[in-house]
Amino acid sequence: MVKSLLSIALISGAVFFVGCSNNLARFSLASTGSLPVKMEKGGDIVTGKDCRTYILFWGIGNANNRVSGAVADALNVAAKKGEPSDALQNVDISYSSWSAFFFGRDCFIAKGQPVTVKH
């Protein structure tokens, strides 16, 4: 009796205490203050997203470097506007999600001003 209860407890513990980890971003440079980097003024603020869809609680799409993906998307948006850039400044990173029963979506959103670094 005790062995069967212990077995049930171990199996239940394995099911309920499962976790995972993901790499959210990879940056060449990150700062919360001003840096003495020479940059050419960029254009208007651009927004990029990296989204993932969930069906039956199972994520479909890339789970790693999602913040970096949102920044890359914002730089692509700037390039499509005719403002090719190296980086974003004054960046705001946000997260949004929604779900309806067994279907959902979550996104990392990057907003910033595109700039070109002087070489």
If you average pLDDT over residues 41-46, what whole number do you get?
A: 83
Stronger pLDDT, 26 or 100, i.e. the higher one: 100
- The more confidently predicted of residues 17 and 74 is 74
Residues in Cβ contact with 92 at an 8 Å cutoff, skipping those fewer than 6 apart: 110, 111, 112
Length of the chain in residues, anyone?
119
Residue 49 pLDDT grade (very low, low, confident, very high; cuts 50, 70, 90): very high
What are the boundaries of each domain within the chain? 18-115
The rounded distance, in Å, linking the Cα atoms of 94 and 8 is 41
The answer, yes or no, to whether residue 26 has pLDDT greater than 90, is no
Indicate the burial class of 25 (C-beta count within 10 angstroms; 0-12, 13-18, 19 or more): middle
- Cα radius of gyration rounded to whole Å, the chain: 21
Greatest mean pLDDT among 18-22, 24-28, 29-33, 63-67 lies in 63-67
26-46 mean pLDDT? 73
pLDDT at 53 over 90: yes
CATH topology of domain 18-115: Translation Initiation Factor IF3 (3.30.110)
